[in-house]
Structure 1
Amino acid sequence: MTIAMGWSTRSPRIRYPELIATYGGDTLWAAMVYWLLAWWRPRVPWPVRAPAALCIATAVEFSQLYQAPWIVALRDNPVAALVLGQGFLWTDLVCYAVGVAGAALIDALLLTKQPLPEMEHT
């Protein structure tokens, strides 16, 4: 469902508000990374998966600064472009944090029902 929603933000047939059209795909891409980790390692709790997903998404974003001819050619493939991205943007890092946090919150509250950490009151 996350992948379908992300693709829909790039569809010219569906008109989303500008904020969603601009940042929704990147936000949902990071959520997808979280869900893939949850599928791959279901016994790992969300407080471990969330930082791992954010690290993976951030590493992929920073890899876009690497512009060797072989990887530029690879990114010309539409599937590889969806996975690896096209160009580094600082705003994508914010999208990734929001996407991972949203997926982890859904996971914690609705799916695994793992408790959220207690907040200290000062």
Structure 2
Amino acid sequence: MYPFKSIYILSFFGTIVLGLLSRRIDWIPIITGDALYAVMIYWFFRFIFTTKKSYYALIFSVLFCFGIEFLQLLQHPILIEWRNNPMLRLVLGQGFLWTDLIAYCLGSLIAFFIDRKIINRYFK
């Protein structure tokens, strides 16, 4: 295992904490949670694709987030039941919003630049 993989795991869990906190503080815009969701997904894919270029994680994180967002257009009874579960609601979301797609792009790009400018430079 690559020693710097732990940085991605720590970043993943740290982002979860920030995302949950962003829902509790009123003055933080709601779009921040969606951007942090994309950041978290980026760290997850970066952990998986450690030996690949960071572009892989960027592309897969955007595709994953877009897939989850477009899945919200489907109202299948199983998906509706899953969305009623508080934990699964955090993963699957509740309703499609075009602004979420922008937030996912921004969040993935922010994580990509943090990875390229900080993590790759100082931890590898």
CA distance in 2, matches of 1:15, 1:87: 21
Percent identical residues: 36
How far does residue 45 in structure 1 lie from its aligned partner after superposition? 1.2
CA distance in 1, matches of 2:76, 2:26: 36
TM-score, reference length from structure 1: 0.84
Matched with 1:42 is: 50
Matched with 1:10 is: 23
Indicate whether 1:68 and 2:81 are aligned: no
Matched with 1:32 is: 40
Tell me the secondary structure at the aligned position of residue 21 of structure 1.
coil
Match for 2:112 among 94, 100, 104?
104
Please say which structure displays the higher CA radius of gyration: 1
How far does residue 32 in structure 1 lie from its aligned partner after superposition? 0.5
CA distance in 2, matches of 1:2, 1:46: 18
Matched with 2:93 is: 85
How far does residue 9 in structure 1 lie from its aligned partner after superposition? 1.1
Higher helix fraction: Structure 1 or Structure 2? 2
Residue 79 of structure 1 aligns with an amino acid whose one-letter code is: M
Tell me the secondary structure at the aligned position of residue 23 of structure 2.
coil
CA distance in 2, matches of 1:40, 1:52: 11
CA distance in 1, matches of 2:57, 2:20: 24
Matched with 1:119 is: none
Q: CA RMSD in A?
A: 1.0
Matched with 1:57 is: 65
TM-score, reference length from structure 2: 0.83
